Chains A and B, each alone.
Chain A
Amino acid sequence: MAIDSQIKRGSAELAILLLLGDQPLHGYEIAKRIERKTQGVLRFTVASLYPLLYRLEKRGWVKAKWETIPNGRRRRYYRLTPTGKKALVPLREQWRMFFRALSRLAEVASA
């Protein structure tokens, strides 16, 4: 089932921050991991991913640095900053509450 783009956009920040909380990743890796972990429900393209990453970077939640990967190519790795870590806590909680509320609503509707 395709997810509406507005919902996707809203949850995208959380998905990226959660991933970067584990380890630094470059854009392509971020897109692939999100796709894999959500079993294809969330899929980021170049067009949807980078504006979001630049927005997070501008906010100071992530920081990027060029690094050379084993095949000799250079990739820009994103890391979660301490500000990003702080921002992630309420963001995660807000989404948890949101999904809990939706889940309750769905239960009521189907009852």
Chain B
Amino acid sequence: MPDWTPLVKERLGTLGLASGREEEILAELAAHLDDVYEEWIGRGVSAEEAVRLTLKEVPDWAGLRREIHHAEHAEGDMNQRTKSLWLPGLLTSLLGMGLLFVMQWIGLVPYSIKPGRYVPIVIYWQWYILLPVAGAVGAYCSRAAGGNIRGRIVAGLFPATVLGAAMGLAFLVALFVDRQVPLSLKFPAFVIYLLGWSVVPGLALLLGVLPFLQQPKARARA
């Protein structure tokens, strides 16, 4: 009887899984081929013909490798992304917006400058001071869920990114919809809003994220 495990290993190649899992899959596929081979032998087919018929079970080994790889990674990765990116990002946003809401609710007044005919520059300095906490919480949660450095940064800066994108979209809409206001007023307004609601908050959030870009000491040693 042929030894199917080396044959499967050779044809399937590396799956890129943890070694225990990879060996388990190879053994399982080999066991199945073994059963199919036995079945053909039981039907009175010659050993050589039985091998040929058994190998028909996998017409495309590269395709099977892709399918197994996808099955082993795709859904898990999605869950992992949700845990390490979207949920911490959402938490950072809720916390950031919550802090702003509380500030406005208790009546803290932002610093405001009116530069000539342009829109006023509103500096929520109290919010900026507190924002690193939100960034830190997002990055910490992302790291705790196994997020990589990029994931932690995205999770920590999530509200600033969303606000920045919203500003950009609003600017584009204003460009095409509201044609009465000249671009010389629209563009500075866009820059002022972008700085106040996305860039400066983003920098404040980043301050909170920075300490969580390194692995915890216990893990870093491992």
Contacts and interface: CB of A to CB of B under 8 A. Distances in A.
* Residues of B contacting A: mostly: helix
A73 B31 contact: yes
Contact of A51 (B56, B57, B70): B70
Contacts of A47: 57-60, 63-64, 67
A6 interface: no
Nearest to A54: B71
Interface residues of B, number: 25
B178 interface: no
Nearest to A31: B32
For the side of the interface on A, what is the size category? 10 to 19
A46 interface: yes
Nearest to B36: A28
A51 B72 CA distance: 8
Contacts of B36: 28, 46
A58 B70 CA distance: 11
A38 B26 CA distance: 28
Interface string A27-71: 110010000000000000111011110110011000000000000
Interface of A: 26-28, 31, 45-47, 49-52, 54-55, 58-59, 73-76
